[in-house]
A and B are shown apart, each in its own frame.
Chain A
Amino acid sequence: MDNISVDHLTGIKHLTREDIEIIFKTADSFKQVINRPIKKVPSLRDITIANLFFENSTRTRLSFELAEKRLSADVVNFSAASSSVKKGETLVDTVNNILSMKVDMVVMRHPNPGAAKFLSERIDAAVINAGDGTHEHPTQALLDCYSIREKFGSVEGKKVVIVGDILHSRVALSNIYALQKLGAEVMVCGPTTLIPKYIHELGVKVEHNLMKALNWCDVANMLRIQLERQDIQYFPSLREYSMLYGLNKEILDNLDKEIVVMHPGPINRGVEITSDVADSKQSIILNQVENGVAVRMAVIYLLASKIERH
């Protein structure tokens, strides 16, 4: 089998279906590895990876760091809060300074859309996008699709609804691309103000009624309301949002069929999803987190195999 067609993972948009399938197949093997007594393989012992987080993160950062360590890579961490970025250094300068210390790969989260692509065109290291503003979050979409594949055996033909703040969500956009490439049908659901105006041009269905959306789907991916990105008021109150678009056990039990519930985290319990749903048998939220490490190991492994030895 060939390697993936890209040298950087800046977004799902640039991947082919074959790329995603190679990543999944490799992730299957890493999932075995991380369930062994010794959860580590020596593949990347001569690779150094910098995790640059210009925006807060818990899950993604830990997941990337664990993935890197389980591949035996050397890891350096950087967060904007405690760095010279505050002193006025530009992104390319910051990264080039880090690269002078012989770093082979950069995992970056940044508040500006397109930051990962911008960086990948300017530096001599493989770049993995760990979220760029409201644009893409490719590894999250890969692990979401991987979890659906694990649950159902395949993503092809599945109906997936993404509920919530589609406008500010990089998870939504990456998921739409990934699900469509794998042959799934995608619907977005949320208040009119939180659905981008021309999103139907991506080939997704738009629905404003949660019950209708849930009765249509096999999988519901519930997104968080990204209050930190909302500069204006998009809906009257969180309470009202929660009443119209929050998923609770009563709604779940009254559907025509049993659906699978996903959430990329962090969960705002009681807003987009109630505790009893998040902790129910139908939820695969914690499987998503476990699969996140395996999928990230696969992405790092495949991209690292393309880095030339100096």
Chain B
Amino acid sequence: MEKQVILNEKQFELTLQRLCHQLIENHDNFSNTVLIGLQPRGVHVLNRLKTMIEQKLGSTVQCGNLDITFYRDDFRRRERPLIPSVTNIDFIIEGKNVVLIDDVLFTGRTIRSGLDALLAFGRPQKVELLAVVDRRFKRDLPIQGDYIGKAVDTLVSERVAVEWKELEGEDKVILFTPKENG
């Protein structure tokens, strides 16, 4: 595997700042907006953005974590069972503007499951999608992001990882390419 950093710590910070400003631009004071992070790794994006937005606004933003395991479309199509994470949404999203947040947008299947899972908490007014990285050209479903940190063109055999200071020691986005692809 060859590693290539596609967003370093400084660019990462700038990207998150931009996403944060875009959200504020569209959602004003967040009085009718909730942010939902998709488990497992979308939650880290959510936590970071929440802190930034709350600092800028000086008020709190309603947030939740959503686990989509039981809504996936690949149950019984994998070797291992899908073991769930925690869903933590203690409010009803009826009539709210919802921003779904994930780290990498790839096939779009996770987001489809997320939309399905979301409906268990009410009928939202509007749902938007935020992703730190958008791997274009390999979408299986007609799903597009509204707020994108960085769009990258990748091969299916490649892998994109968003790493976090609190988990991996540094904020960065890495592209892994298998050797045989050169």
Contact = CB atoms under 8 A, between A and B. Distances in A.
Contacts of A38: 119-121
Interface string A15-56: 000000010011001001100111011111010000000000
Contacts, number: 60
Contacts of B122: 37
B121 A37 contact: yes
Contact of B86 (A29, A306, A308): A29
A201 to B, nearest CB: 35
B75 interface: yes
A6 B82 CA distance: 16
Interface in B71-86: 71-72, 75-77, 80-86
B137 interface: no
Contact of A29 (B69, B72, B92, B119): B69
Nearest to A104: B76
Interface centre among B70, B72, B86 (most CB of A within 10 A): B70
A294 to B, nearest CB: 12
Nearest to A1: B83
B116 interface: yes
For the side of the interface on B, what is the size category?
A: 20 to 34
A22 B72 CA distance: 19
A81 B167 CA distance: 59
Interface in A268-310: 301-302, 304-309
Interface string B34-51: 000000000000000000
B36 to A, nearest CB: 14
Contact of B81 (A37, A40, A305): A305
A193 B81 CA distance: 45
A3 interface: yes
Given A41-B70, A42-B116, A304 B84 contact: no
A25 B82 CA distance: 12
A25 B83 contact: yes
Contacts of A307: 76
Contact of B87 (A26, A32, A43, A305): A32
A305 B116 CA distance: 20
Nearest to A72: B70
With a 10 A CB-CB cut-off, give which of A42, A46, A307 has the most chain B CB atoms. Answer: A42
A201 B69 CA distance: 43
Nearest to B89: A36
Nearest to A45: B75
B67 interface: yes
Contacts of A36: 120-121
With most chain A CB atoms within 10 A of its CB, the pick from B67, B76, B80, B119 is B76
Given A29-B86, A309-B77, A41 B121 contact: no
B87 to A, nearest CB: 6
Contacts of B82: 305
Nearest to B83: A1
Contacts of A253: none
A231 interface: no
A71 B75 CA distance: 12
A22 B83 CA distance: 9
Contacts of A228: none
Nearest to A46: B76
A32 B83 contact: no
B62 to A, nearest CB: 17
Contact of B80 (A3, A32, A304, A309): A3
A2 interface: yes
Interface string B91-127: 0100000000000000000000000110111100000
Greatest chain B CB density within 10 A among A26, A306, A309 is at A26
Given A1-B80, A29-B87, A301-B70, 18 more contacts: A26-B84, A29-B69, A29-B84, A29-B86, A33-B87, A36-B120, A37-B92, A38-B121, A40-B120, A41-B117, A41-B120, A42-B70, A44-B75, A46-B76, A301-B81, A304-B75, A305-B76, A308-B76
| Shortest beta-carbon contacts, A-B, top 5 | A41-B70, A29-B84, A38-B120, A305-B81, A3-B81
